[in-house]
Amino acid sequence: MIAHADLIALATTLKLASISTLVLLLLCTPVAWWLANTRWRYKHIIEAIVALPLVLPPTVLGFYLLLWFSPQSAVGSFYQQLTGSTLAFSFTGLVIGSVIYSLPFVLQPLQNTFSAIGRRPLEAAATLGASPLDSFFSVVVPLAKPGFITASALGFAHTLGEFGVVLMIGGNIPGETRVASIAIYDHVESLQYANAHSLALVLLGVSFLLLVFVYANNRSVLVSKA
């Protein structure tokens, strides 16, 4: 059915999506919280920057990343000094690319959820003696659970479908940077339609199930609020 090489590509894809989603949750939670609560007058500039991956062609994103990752650039040479390897054409480089590429898909649901919760539950918690950190974990996180679920599912699904950025910065190293979307492209190029079919079907199925999960989750949010 699915060739061994393709299974490895699928495993790489799942690994990439899982790690990227985890990094995104850690990164986006404080940023989304800040964006939802700040009264800073220039916050729209930050909002525009984090929304850029929504509209930029993945090739543009990939091109800039490729420049940064090169050992001639400050970022690339710093990483090389630190680890002895290059960022370009590495799994770590792919994770960085995916995190940037899927950022708005995690950030925006979280920001919307935090805005909807508002400051009142935190104020109530503060008057009951809960410190800001305590009330964040005891009140905001449980209230924002549906938002975290939506954000994770969207971030994961979006990373599964990543193609352009990977092509620019990851290349096609089996077991390292060869993800499912690249493998499909290769199969089509070499007219192996059957292999392309089975991989495409897996991605279609997984993405569909994730979106069903997201919408069912959103519906339960709506129902529980009514």
Partner 1 sequence: MSLSADINLAQRGFAQRFVVDEIHQGVTALFGPSGCGKTSVLRAIAGLDRHHDSRVQFSSQWWQRDSAFTPAHLRRVGYVFQEASLFEHLTVVENLSYASKRRQENSSGLESAEIIDLLGIETLLEQPCATLSGGQRQRVAIARTLCARPKLMLMDEPLSALDNDAKRRIFPTLQLVCQQANMPILYVTHSLDEVARLADYLIVMKQGAVTDVGSANELLTNLMSPLSQQANAAAVLSGVVAEHDDAFSLMRISTDAGDILVHQDASLAVGDAIKLKLSANDISIALNAEHASSILNSLPSKITDIHQEGESQVLVKLNANGAPLLARITRKSCHKLGLHIGQTVFVQIKSVAIL
For residue 115, state whether it binds partner 1 (rule: CB under 8 A): no
Q: Which is nearer to partner 1, 191 or 223 (CB)?
A: 223
Span of 8-16, 52-60, 120-128, 213-221 interacting with partner 1 by CB under 8 A? 120-128
Within 13 Å of residue 4, how many CA atoms lie on the same side as its CB?
0
Distance CA 100, CA 75 (A): 15
Span of 7-15, 138-146, 194-202, 208-216 interacting with partner 1 by CB under 8 A? 138-146
For residue 139, state whether it binds partner 1 (rule: CB under 8 A): yes
Which one, of 96, 20, 24, 21, lies nearest residue 65 by Cα? 96
Q: Which amino acid is at 28?
A: C
Min separation Cβ 148 and partner 1, Å: 13
Distance CA 82, CA 6 (A): 33
CB 66 within 8 A of CB 175: no
Q: Which of 86, 138, 192, 218 binds partner 1 (CB under 8 A)?
A: 138
Distance CA 9, CA 173 (A): 10
Distance CA 46, CA 36 (A): 12
Min separation Cβ 225 and partner 1, Å: 9
Min separation Cβ 143 and partner 1, Å: 5
Q: Which of 57, 142, 174, 205 binds partner 1 (CB under 8 A)?
A: 142
Helices in 3-42 by DSSP H: which ranges? 4-37
For residue 39, state whether it binds partner 1 (rule: CB under 8 A): no
**Which residues are at the interface with partner 1 (CB under 8 A)?**
120-121, 123-132, 134-135, 138-139, 142-143, 145, 224
